[in-house]
C-alpha cells in the first residue's frame, strides 16, 4: 500500500493507514476533521478477515450504509499479499472511489 500513499508533504491532510485486530486487517484513510483540524478521522476502505477453517482471507469493502460487504469480484483470496493486490487494483472503484 506504500505506492498508494500520497507524497510526504500531503500526508498531514490525507494519508493511508492500517491496523490488525484479531484475525482482520483493515485499511483506512486518515484526514483531519472538517470542523476541527486538530482531530483526525479514520475512514474505512477495505478489510480482510482470515478464515482458519478454509485457510483463506475474506475481502470486504465499506459501502455508504457504513456496513462491510463482501467484495464480489474477489470474495476470497489465499494470501494477504493477494488481498493487497486486489485493493491496489480497485477494478470497480469500491475501495478508493
pTM of the model: 0.90
Domain ranges of the chain: 2-89
Residue 2, pLDDT > 90, answer no
DSSP reduced 3-state for 95: coil
Q: How far apart are CA 97 and CA 88, in angstroms?
A: 12
Question: Which among 55, 20, 26, 60 is positioned nearest to 43, based on CA atoms?
Answer: 26
* Chain segment 12-64, per-residue pLDDT in tens: 999 999 999 999 999 999 999 999 989 999 999 999 999 999 999 999 999 99
Q: Dig out the grid coordinates for 47 from the structure.
A: 478489510
β-pairing, 56-62 vs 68-70, is antiparallel
**Strands 15-21, 76-77: pairing kind:** unpaired
Amino acid at each position: 500500500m506504500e505506492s498508494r500513499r500520497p507524497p510526504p508533504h500531503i500526508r498531514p491532510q490525507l494519508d493511508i493507514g492500517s491496523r490488525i485486530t484479531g484475525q482482520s486487517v483493515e485499511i483506512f484513510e486518515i484526514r483531519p476533521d472538517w470542523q476541527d483540524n486538530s482531530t483526525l478521522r479514520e475512514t474505512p476502505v477495505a478489510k480482510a478477515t482470515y478464515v482458519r477453517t478454509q485457510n483463506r482471507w475474506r475481502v470486504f469493502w465499506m459501502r455508504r450504509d457504513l456496513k462491510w460487504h463482501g467484495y464480489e469480484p474477489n470474495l476470497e483470496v489465499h494470501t494477504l499479499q493477494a488481498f493487497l493486490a486486489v485493493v491496489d487494483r480497485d477494478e470497480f472503484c469500491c475501495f478508493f472511489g
